[in-house]
Amino acid sequence: MQIDLSNKRVIVTGASRGIGRAIARAFAAEGARVAICARSETDVKAAGADLSSRGAKDVIAHVVDVTDTVGVKRFVEHIAAQWGGVDVLVNNAGQGRGGNLDTLTPEQILEHANVLQMGHFRFVQAVVPHMRKQRWGRIIEINALAGVVPTPDGIPSVVNRAACIAMSKSLGMSLAKDNILVNTLNMGWIDTGQWDRHFKEMPAGCTREEFDAMVLKVVPIGRFGKPEDVAGMALFLSSEYASFISAASIEIAGGMGGQIAYYPTLKRDFHEAVRLREEAAAEQEA
């Protein structure tokens, strides 16, 4: 099977690093025209130069704030004017956010929703008129497994990702008649550097091997995902091989489902076990 995306005009949001950058690189390698945006001018320009070096037919790299409705529309209009339309939108911008009933304010949840839910909505609303004109479009929503399987912490990510997944399914149904197919990819534990940060939160006596083994107990495939694991599915959904797939919710999670709910307890228990081990070792030395 050979996926040909050489003539596609693609937008990837939040593409200066991590999953977004891997997806943009994958489209570039296929010879697509790739437009990217992010909040940092330095980072997005560097990512744009990287895409050009990887074979992208053309590259547009701009700073865009996804909470700015006018700015989002202006960015999309610029791309459509330059390239004569838009074929693919990958809505990747937006990060997870932790917190629970005791630590959050309603305003913090709404702030996260404005970036995530409304950021995705703004881009869809901006690209759909162009896709309708050509009666062809692919929209890929990058979401998280926590929106499918609620976890006992991280309320903003749980509720806002769930809303994004529901919106994707709704759009996948309503836009299919225009040959605009919308699907959501729900990430499990994709290693983009965040697990290095989580490891640093562990007690000093914890090794990285021990930490990884604890984390991966709940991932059936037994490893972290890679950004490239997501990029491959994004390419497939943008191709003619996926012409009868819309309103689908696909987990990129190595087989992990409900197991994700056990992770907070597992992490706390592991943290406590390492602490007690270190205290016991210190007492023996004394």
Delimit the CATH 3.40.50.720 region(s) of the chain. 9-190+225-255
Confidence at residue 208, expressed as pLDDT on a 0 to 100 scale: 93
* Contact in structure between 66 and 72 (CB atoms under 8 Å): yes
**228 three-class SS:** helix
**CA-to-CA distance for 50 and 47, rounded, in angstroms?**
5
Q: What is the mean pLDDT of each run of 10 residues along the chain (286 residues)?
A: 88 96 96 95 96 92 97 98 98 90 96 97 98 98 96 92 98 98 97 89 87 93 96 97 98 95 86 84 76
* Contact in structure between 11 and 134 (CB atoms under 8 Å): no
Question: In this structure, what are the phi and psi dihedrals at residue 62, rounded to the nearest 5 degrees?
Answer: -130, 155
| pTM for the predicted model, two decimal places | 0.94
Question: In this structure, what are the phi and psi dihedrals at residue 89, rounded to the nearest 5 degrees?
Answer: -120, 125
Measured at the alpha carbon of residue 192, what is the angle toward residues 189 and 198, in degrees to the nearest 5? Answer: 70
Confidence at residue 172, expressed as pLDDT on a 0 to 100 scale: 98
Measured at the alpha carbon of residue 51, what is the angle toward residues 45 and 57, in degrees to the nearest 5? Answer: 120
- For residue 2, give the nearest of 268, 256, 235 by alpha carbon: 235
Q: Where does 188-278 show beta strands of DSSP type E?
A: 249-252
Cβ-based neighbour number of residue 105 at 10 Å: 9
Query: How far is CA 84 from each of CA 79, 134, 282, rounded to the nearest angstrom?
Result: 8, 10, 68
Asked: is 9-190+225-255 a CATH 3.40.1390.20 domain? The reply is: no
Confidence at residue 286, expressed as pLDDT on a 0 to 100 scale: 67
